[in-house]
Amino acid sequence: MKVYSRKKTEIVKALRRGDITFSVYGIGKMGLPLAVILADKGARVIGVGRNMEIINKLNRGICDIDEPGLSELVKKTVKAGRFSATNDAIGASRQSDVKIILVPTLLDEENNPDLEAVKSVSKSIAAGLHKGDLVILESTAPPGTTENVIKPILEKSGLRAGRDFGLAHCPERTSSGRAIIDILGAYPKIVGGIDRKSSEACEAIYSVVNKKGVIVVKNLKTAEAVKVVEGIYRDVNIALANQLAVIFDELGVDSYEAFLTANTQPYSNMHMPGTGVGGHCIPVYPYFITKITNGDASLLKLAREVNDSMANYTVSLAESALTEAGRSIKVAKIMVLGIAFRGGVKETRYSPSFRIIKLLREKGADVHAYDPLFTKQEIEKMGFSYSDKFNGMDCIIIVSDHKEFRKYNWRKVGKEMRNKVLIDGRNVVEPSRIIKLGFIYKGIGHA
């Protein structure tokens, strides 16, 4: 059933009884969860990707993405005949009433927004676009993208947005490791359409999915800005925490105690310091503003510089501690614990560990890496030397806050090491306990 210009009550009923077909462009860590949730709510859904191996597996009900609850939903919806995957992007557009774009929006080598995937998908959608269809961009994008980039491509179909078909931006608000929970209603869904009818159609669709409800904003640009603001807010506040932590380390102030105590006052929301910022969101979104504005974005730029500099600070702590132990970093054997950008998540995009390892190698260190979420083969494929043993190590640097690291027997680990140096970049260990075990300890935020 075509949804543009339909009443909200009609759309809700049609979705639940399976009369609306969706195509979801991008069946990765964000797109696939949305696709199978829509299918589980009753819709017919076509997931569109490029990798035929992944597509064939999905059509057999097999999911390789490590996301809680996702494999079960894929299996369930494929078995019910409500979800299928294809690489025929134009065909999927022809067959669907609602087209959702959820492909990556990253950065090029000069940190400019890279919208090539969005443009490519939009061209395929345009080739199969019909009157009454609804096109939704869920990918995070610089304000103005839906109207200035996607709309002209879609209108090459001969149809006009806001007259013949609906167009909206409804930003995904999900995190790796909790995508299902987030989509189902950890936070309200944001909707912004090119016109009232587009917004109302999206509001009806997402009201079926999101138990926290839908917030309709006044236009496309505002909806695009919401997700960008969320990421920038965190980047700037993490930068504040990181810069203060470096200063407080010098002054002998325990940042964690100071920040947590400050947060007992309702107007303080201090974030916690660390080795840097990774993932596909926070380190990317500031550039969605700084690269498109002629205005003063100095605060955003400085926050990026501060957070990127934490890798250098981490290495400087290691070098200082090794010197204290009587070992030059040039001949040190160092273990980096954690390749993932965040604890409990098997994802490495923009992970600080990559820069830390690069800096250590440039100083001559013999660097090894371990992460409980990655196999030996996966780590070696990244170009790192793998080791899950501490024999002969001079220094350990904790970069990811995996729960497994909190359970380590550090007394045993220390006995295996050549020099007992530990740098904790993620507040994983208890400093006083580690020091009592004879380690030379330095932790970001723990003076």
Which residues are catalytic, by number?
227, 281
Show the DSSP H helices in 69-134 as ranges: 70-79, 89-95, 116-127
Which tokens is 385 given? 């030397």
Question: Closest Cα partner for 169 from 87, 62, 288?
Answer: 288
Amino acid making up residue 148? N
How far is Cα 97 from Cα 94, in angstroms, rounded to an integer? 8
Question: Closest Cα partner for 103 from 23, 43, 213?
Answer: 23
How far is Cα 65 from Cα 32, in angstroms, rounded to an integer? 9
Question: Closest Cα partner for 12 from 20, 22, 4, 24?
Answer: 20
How far is Cα 129 from Cα 74, in angstroms, rounded to an integer? 27
Q: How many residues does the chain have?
A: 447
Element holding 22 (H helix, E strand): strand 21-25
Which tokens is 48 given? 């569109």
